[in-house]
Amino acid sequence: MNEQSKEVPVKILQVNSSARREASHSTQVANRIVERLRNEAPDAALCVRDLGADPHPVLDEAALGALFTPPAQRTPEQAARVALDDALIAQVQAADVIVLGVPMYNFGVPAQLKNWIDAIMRAGVTFRYTAQGPEGLLKCKKVYVALARGGVYRGTPADTQVPYLRTVLGFLGIDDVQFVYAEGLNMGDEAQRQGLASALEQIGELVAA
Ligand SMILES: Cc1cc2nc3c(=O)[nH]c(=O)nc-3n(C[C@H](O)[C@H](O)[C@H](O)COP(=O)(O)O)c2cc1C
């Protein structure tokens, strides 16, 4: 157990992004991470957003128009659209620990997770540009990412998810990011069993017991 893992989480935000519900391995691994965190801090508050069941809208032209219209001039529809993003930003700002459930879809993150990322990255709120360059405004947060893949891509150039998520989260000021890999899940029963067992082992090492 390292020093960081002794931190007591106060508010946990879990964001699931699989299109699947009960059968989702990334959600199961994310659930296990949350379970371990709550063993450590039984009083921790948990907020769960399941982007598969409750998708966030895409960043389309109407959404951009709403975001770039000054608040006082927004139509009710524009205000409602911005409020959806505001709610996600508020959840992230309130969280001490964020747990992301992330399947690999076609070598990238699910579109639902990309929509969530597009919603929480807001200039002047979650990051800002200074004379010294960009500055992330989400400080002092820890993120665990539960990755589920049909194949095995950890540490290879085909794993675009990890560098992408590190870049996005780092840009927002979150550098304390731990990845849990559940891989080989579509490579037969034994590979799946091993992939899930390995993920549980990783959780045991990364998350305080
Ligand atoms: C649409 C789709 C695309 C997928 N693309 C990939 C892929 O590019 N690489 C991979 O290793 N597995 C891929 N898979 C397999 C999933 O990553 C794997 O089934 C994983 O368990 C899905 O996450 P979930 O169990 O949380 O739903 C894909 C699955 C689906 C449904």
d(CA 182, CA 185): 7
Per-residue pLDDT at 168 = 98
Ligand 1 lined by 150 (C-beta under 6 Å):
yes
- Mutation probe of ligand 1 site: the residue of 15, 99, 102, 105 with most atoms within 8 A of C-beta: 105
Per-residue buried b or exposed e for 97-106, using 16+ beta carbons within 10 Å of the residue's own CB = bbbbbbbbbe
β-pairing, 11-16 vs 127-130, is: unpaired
Please name the residue whose Cα sits nearest to atom 19 of ligand 1. 150
In the reported structure, the alpha carbon of residue 23 is separated from the centroid of ligand 1 by a whole-number distance in angstroms of 12
d(CA 168, CA 172): 7
Residues of the chain scoring pLDDT < 50? 1-5
β-pairing, 127-130 vs 133-136, is: antiparallel
d(CA 116, CA 191): 31
Q: What confidence tens digit (pLDDT) does each residue in 143-181 have?
A: 999 999 999 999 999 999 999 999 999 999 999 999 999
The DSSP line for the chain is --SGGG---SEEEEEE--S-STT-HHHHHHHHHHHHHHHH-TT-EEEEEETTTSPPPP--HHHHHHHTS-GGG--HHHHHHHHHHHHHHHHHHH-SEEEEEEE-BTTB--HHHHHHHHHH--BTTTEEEETTEEEE---S-EEEEEEE-SS--TTSTT--HHHHHHHHHHHTT--EEEEEEE--TTS-HHHHHHHHHHHHHHHHHHS--
Q: What is the pTM of this model?
A: 0.94
Per-residue pLDDT at 1 = 42
The one-letter code for the residue type at 122 is R
Ligand 1 lined by 24 (C-beta under 6 Å):
yes
d(CA 198, CA 38): 21
In the reported structure, the alpha carbon of residue 8 is separated from the centroid of ligand 1 by a whole-number distance in angstroms of 33
Q: How many CB atoms lie within 10 A of CB 157?
A: 7
